[in-house]
């Protein structure tokens, strides 16, 4: 039998020979009492700005003048287009550059990701 008895994170012996499941910090036990889901209480649920608890785990959103990046966690300034270039053969180290183009000023800022 599985040493965790089906518990996603931590299995504890309960009174009368049973078991109870617990979650690591930042996670919450789900309704089935075995699985754990990430919460906003630890590390803001991975969100850069605002974290909202949902049935499926944290949902991120951003402060005014920012929009949620396609990664669903980080926020970028409104008016900034984020474009990911496809991998090219010239990129021998396998690095990609994330171009943030400020639409209203036409300037380009590169950040290595």
Domain ranges of the chain: 1-38
Tell which residue, 64, 49, 57, 3, has the closest CA to residue 30. Answer: 57
**Mean per-residue pLDDT for 62-81?**
89
Between residues 13 and 50, the one the model is more confident about? 50
pTM comes to 0.54
Tell which residue, 96, 107, 46, has the closest CA to residue 71. Answer: 46
Give residue 80's pLDDT: 59
Q: Determine the 3-state secondary structure of 43 from DSSP.
A: helix
Q: How far apart are CA 30 and CA 65, in angstroms?
A: 35
> What element of type H or E holds 67?
strand 66-68
Q: Is the dihedral of CA 43, 13, 11, 58 positive or negative?
A: negative
Q: What is the CATH class of 1-38?
A: mainly beta
């Amino acid at each position: 039998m599985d040493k965790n008895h089906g518990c996603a994170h931590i299995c504890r012996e309960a009174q009368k020979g049973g078991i109870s499941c617990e979650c690591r910090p930042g996670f919450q036990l789900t309704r089935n009492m075995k699985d754990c889901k990430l919460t906003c209480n630890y590390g803001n649920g991975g969100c850069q700005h605002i974290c909202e608890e949902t049935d499926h785990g944290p949902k991120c959103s951003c402060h005014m003048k920012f929009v949620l990046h396609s990664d669903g966690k980080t926020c970028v300034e409104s008016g900034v287009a984020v474009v990911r270039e496809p991998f090219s053969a010239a990129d021998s180290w396998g690095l990609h550059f994330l171009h943030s183009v400020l639409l209203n000023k036409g300037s380009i800022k590169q950040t290595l990701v």
